[in-house]
Amino acid sequence: MRRKLVSLGVYVLIVIAWTAAPHVCAQSITEKVEWTWADRPEHPNPALPDILLIGDSITRAYYAETSRLLDGRANCYLFATSASSGDSRLPKQIADLATMMPSTFAVIHFNNGMHGWEYTERQYAAGLPGVVAAVRKLSPSAALLWASTTPLRKPTTAGATNQRVDERNRLALAVMQQQHIQVDDQGGLMLQHQDLHQDDVHFTKEGSAVQAQQVAQSILQALSRPAKQGLK
């Protein structure tokens, strides 16, 4: 009960920050290089469910292996972007996917935590409800899976640290719990595989394969469950 009350308190503070201070997310803080990346199956099987991965370069790295693992079970789509939660562009980018991808997805697996380090953790948290709302609007019947942000090998010049990753994951988890969104704990998984970093942020091919195994498993589990994603 104590844990539930703490999570509820964190979530209420996030919602208050988002509604009472809309300026927090109103203006984008751009990075030196900004990008978006989308991919889809060349010949999707209409008999199979469609699933979507939303994320950044970490997601883009495990997408190919995830697609391979889901071959014959689901059509796998990708949208990756350098925009993070806290950036007003991100919900708009997600909304634009409706013009280029299927009208419905069975599962949407999403994370946006490895960019936007010039946003404070308060700004990051304030943007989360808008990101979730955009994902829900894109495909209202989809089962949603939030992936926690993965750890760093060491701090980066962009301002990323594992302490900040942990705080963003804590704030995001409170939102996902209150909105009844299942969690794929990629952060906890890769904390056990720090030897598989290829640089301070990204993982080797072997590391991305470890991630893909858990991503695919979480998606298959979501496909086997009745949809229970509505707010309560």
Give per-residue pLDDT as tens, 71-102. Answer: 999 999 999 999 999 999 999 999 999 999 98
H helical segments located in the chain: 2-20, 57-69, 89-96, 121-138, 162-178, 186-191, 205-224
pLDDT bin (cut points 50, 70, 90) of residue 140 is very high
- Mean pLDDT over 109-119 rounds to 93
* pTM confidence score: 0.87
The answer on pLDDT for 16 being more than 80 is no
CA neighbor of 113 nearest in space, from 184, 51, 65: 184
Coil vs helix vs strand at 38: strand
Q: Give the CATH number of domain 2-28+37-224; options: 3.40.1110.10, 3.40.50.1110, 3.40.1640.10, 1.10.510.10.
A: 3.40.50.1110
The answer on pLDDT for 23 being more than 60 is no
Residue 132 tokens, joined: 């979730």
- Mean pLDDT over 48-57 rounds to 97
pLDDT bin (cut points 50, 70, 90) of residue 50 is very high
- Mean pLDDT over 96-115 rounds to 93
Show me where the domains of the chain are located: 2-28+37-224
Give me the pLDDT at residue 59, please.
98
Q: Are 46 and 36 in contact (CB under 8 A)?
A: no
Q: How many CB atoms lie within 10 A of CB 155?
A: 13
Half-sphere exposure (CA, 13 Å, Cβ side) for 205?
1
